[in-house]
Amino acid sequence: MLSYVLWTLPIDAVCLLAVFFQMRRIGKPIETYRWSIQVHRADAPLASSARLSIRRDPSLRPEDVTDVYAETVADPFLLVDDNLTYLFFEVYNVVTEKGEIGLARSRDGEDWTYDRIALAEPFHLSYPQVFKSGSAYYMIPESVADHRVLLYRARNFPYDWEVEKVLLEGDYVDSSLFQYGGRWWMFSGSHQGTHLFLADSLDGEWKEHPQSPILRDTMNNARPAGRVLVHEGRIYRYAQHGEPYYGHSAYRFRITELTEQSYREEAGELVLEGGAAPWNRAGMHHLDQQQLDSGEWLIAADGHSIRVTPYLKWRIRRLRLRLYVRWGGRPSRRRAIRPRSGGMGSRAGK
């Protein structure tokens, strides 16, 4: 009804209404989420009853991104290869107002060096699950703005990512791929809940599981919160908990039965939540875990704080940055990320 009324109004009246509603917002504050990333070594993954405990500042902040103006860094995914650890993550570009995929490197999993934006598209990207299959490097970023789930392949890892295959058509978010029982599986979120797909091979035909959607609660525990963990014969999926607000916490679910026809999981356990530190006080919503040759684990997680800014100040800052970039301005090239003090590990119990 409202769209019909606006359609029938003269264009001048519509413009006046738009100005009126913008003017109403000028004096009001706006909440912005500032996400950062923490990476640390741990003796064990966040399986069983383990729960993440944060005891230090983040490893990567928005200001560590040096080639675009970043408002947030989130959704970290790790890949360990040839004695180097690569960290792929979402960078929210203030100027373009969309997500792009950033890249950082480390030799020890502690000290990180930001590299560059590794992948950018005309549409928003996030949640860049990166993995190696055979000798090839792949990535499945969230591309719901393009209404497809896209499989990218690196022609010159860790750069030069090209679309290898369209896995799914539709509005799916945070698709999480894993192998189990000789098949490929994938969880994907949507407005209907959590979907489960399977295929005999990565480039094969993907079909939806008979019990999909496995969960229909779109606010709690339906949207994936990181890579599925297959550890010691057990499978764990991680999911975001969106109450009382987005990015509040994440839960772990142990999958007890997974076949072509059946799916079962246990009740979830809290695994991520906001801490006392300013950088993650408002909540945490994503983690990734990779085992090293030493037997230790690297765990990457993100967290956020909420900043309240006057709307006019927030809007003017964005406009100034866009004009600055249009006139040839670039961020400073501060590539080395200083190590942070303290540590992050896992603790037993809820």
Token pair of 142, please? 């969230």
Sign of CA dihedral 101, 301, 83, 48: negative
Cα dihedral value 40, 43, 44, 49, nearest 10 = -100
Contact criterion met (CB below 8 Å) for 326 and 318: no
Q: What is the DSSP string of 251-271?
A: EEEEEEEE-SS-EEEPPPEEE
206, 199, 220, 201: which is closest to 170 by C-alpha? 206
84, 173, 81: which is closest to 131 by C-alpha? 81
By CB neighbour count within 10 A (0-12 exposed, 13-18 middle, 19+ buried), where does 101 fall?
A: buried
User: What gap in Å lies between CA 292 and CA 134, rounded to an integer?
Assistant: 18
349, 224, 300, 308: which is closest to 54 by C-alpha? 300
Contact criterion met (CB below 8 Å) for 46 and 287: yes
DSSP state of 324: H
Q: What is the mean pLDDT of each run of 10 residues along the chain (350 residues)?
A: 42 51 66 92 77 77 95 97 95 96 95 97 99 97 98 98 98 98 97 96 96 85 94 95 92 97 95 90 96 93 92 85 82 49 36
Contact criterion met (CB below 8 Å) for 303 and 54: yes
Q: Is 307 left (phi over 0), alpha (psi -120 to 50) or beta?
A: beta
Q: Kindly report the backbone phi and psi dihedral angles of residue 283, in degrees, each rounded to the nearest multiple of 5, phi listed first.
A: 155, 175
Question: What pTM, to 2 d.p., does this model score?
Answer: 0.87
User: What gap in Å lies between CA 32 and CA 36, rounded to an integer?
Assistant: 13
Query: For the chain, which domains are there?
Result: 31-348 (2.115.10.20)
If DSSP codes are grouped into helix, strand and coil, which group holds residue 155? strand
What are the C-alpha distances in Å from 39 to residues 42, 109, 161, 219? Answer: 10, 7, 24, 27
User: What gap in Å lies between CA 23 and CA 274, rounded to an integer?
Assistant: 35
User: What gap in Å lies between CA 73 and CA 318, rounded to an integer?
Assistant: 17
pLDDT of residue 321: 84
Rg (CA), the chain: 21
pLDDT of residue 328: 79
254, 269, 250: which is closest to 348 by C-alpha? 269
Relative orientation angle of helices 11-26 and 311-326, to the nearest 10 degrees: 110
pLDDT of residue 327: 85
User: What gap in Å lies between CA 332 and CA 255, rounded to an integer?
Assistant: 46
